Amino acid sequence: MLDYASLSALAAVVREGSFERAARALNVTPSAISQRIRLLEERVGCALVVRGQPCQATETGRRLCQHVDRVRLLEQELQGALPALAPEEGIARVALPVAVNADSLATWFAPAVAAFAARAPVLMEVAVDDEDHTAEWLRSGAVLAAVTASARQAVGCNSQPLGSMRYLATASPDFVERHFAGGVGAGSLAQAPSLQFNTKDALQARWVRRLCHRHVELPRHTLPSPQAFVVAAVAGMGWGLQPEVMIRAQLKTGALVELVPGSSLDVPLHWQQARAASTLLDGLTRQVVAAARNVLMPG
């Protein structure tokens, strides 16, 4: 049998980022936290925490944390069905870790999660990463569910399509006049500054490759915020791929224009969740799927 006091200590260290904060969260001493994790590491035969600022779980540690998250969801569900098992202070909120891409979070995902968390006894832990990389969070055990660009199920997970996020390559009219007066092609794109979310963001490169049929090295600004992308594009800082749902007002007023009309890029998104028999996780899934299908493109 696993020692759940030690597992709770591990999860607290990873969640809080330090032994001291984990000790305060569990109302024990830091030495008690250290001892519990040491015993657990001896039991499994490998390191579970990388000491640092903040402390981080190893791959095995993440899988154990995911196991703790699943157990807590199941325990809370059981307490709801059998109130006599609930503690005197009532059913506590449980952590529900998920991963999502920034554009979904900025458009349809945040309202869905907010509506769910307003009714459910959970504490949402939302991690943000590129849609091509959120599946790694599932595979590592860091989260229980994720919005991903991959339809391929992670091990131990179910997957269902959400729809496609439509992106438009846009810039301000002044920017287009300055940089693309002679047309949008490999030569002009190699000179005009582009906008990039981070080093994982490949949307602009994908759009350019489809347009030019070859790779073009793009000069780029890095702005890790969907809202900043819109502001920067309107201000004439650069061109970039924007979620259509975010820029409808700017397109209507003419503050932004498409570089090449009719050249939208659709990115299919999927919802993957761990196969845990939890009504809470199932409830979140229903909320997420319904919200996505109201906003995203079919198929």
Q: What is the pLDDT of residue 137?
A: 84
Residue 86 has pLDDT above 60, yes or no: no
Residue 71 has pLDDT above 90, yes or no: no
Q: What is the pLDDT of residue 4?
A: 83
Place of tokens 């570089």: 259
* Chain mean pLDDT for the chain: 90
Question: How many residues in the chain?
Answer: 299
| pTM (2 d.p.) | 0.82
Separation in Å, CA 113 to CA 90, 91, 131: 23, 20, 17
Summarised one tens digit per residue, pLDDT across range 204-219 is 999 999 999 999 999 9
Per the CB < 8 A criterion, the answer to whether 143 and 65 are in contact is no
Cα atoms in the Cβ-side hemisphere of radius 13 Å centred on 35: 6
Summarised one tens digit per residue, pLDDT across range 239-290 is 999 999 999 999 999 999 999 999 999 999 999 998 865 788 999 999 999 9
Q: What is the pLDDT of residue 82?
A: 60
Region 100-107: mean pLDDT is: 96
Residue 85 has pLDDT above 60, yes or no: no
Summarised one tens digit per residue, pLDDT across range 1-57 is 678 889 889 988 988 889 999 999 889 999 999 999 999 999 999 999 998 888 888
Region 160-177: mean pLDDT is: 97
**Sequential DSSP letters for the chain:** ---HHHHHHHHHHHHHSSHHHHHHHHTS-HHHHHHHHHHHHHHHTS--EE-SSS-EE-HHHHHHHHHHHHHHHHHHHHHHH-GGGS-TT-PPPEEEEEEE-HHHIIIIIHHHHHHHHHHSSEEEEEEE--TTTHHHHHHHTS-SEEEES--SPPTTEEEEEEEEEEEEEEE-HHHHHHH-TT-SSHHHHTTS-EEESSTT--HHHHHHHHHHSS--PPPEEE---HHHHHHHHHHTS-BEEEEGGGSHHHHHHTSSEESSTT--EEEEEEEEEE----HHHHHHHHHHHHHHHHHSBP-
N-term to C-term CA, the chain:
45
Residue 142 has pLDDT above 70, yes or no: yes
Residue ranges of domains in the chain: 165-267
Considering the four listed CATH numbers 3.40.190.10, 3.40.50.150, 3.30.70.60, 3.40.50.970, the one that applies to the domain covering 165-267 is 3.40.190.10
Per the CB < 8 A criterion, the answer to whether 138 and 66 are in contact is no
Residue 141 has pLDDT above 70, yes or no: yes
> Does a cis peptide bond (omega within 30 degrees of 0) precede residue 161?
no
Neighbouring residues of 111: CB distance < 8 A, sequence distance ≥ 6 = 291
Neighbouring residues of 189: CB distance < 8 A, sequence distance ≥ 6 = 208, 212, 216, 218
CA–CA separation, 187 vs 25, rounded Å?
57
**Sequential DSSP letters for 47-76:** --EE-SSS-EE-HHHHHHHHHHHHHHHHHH
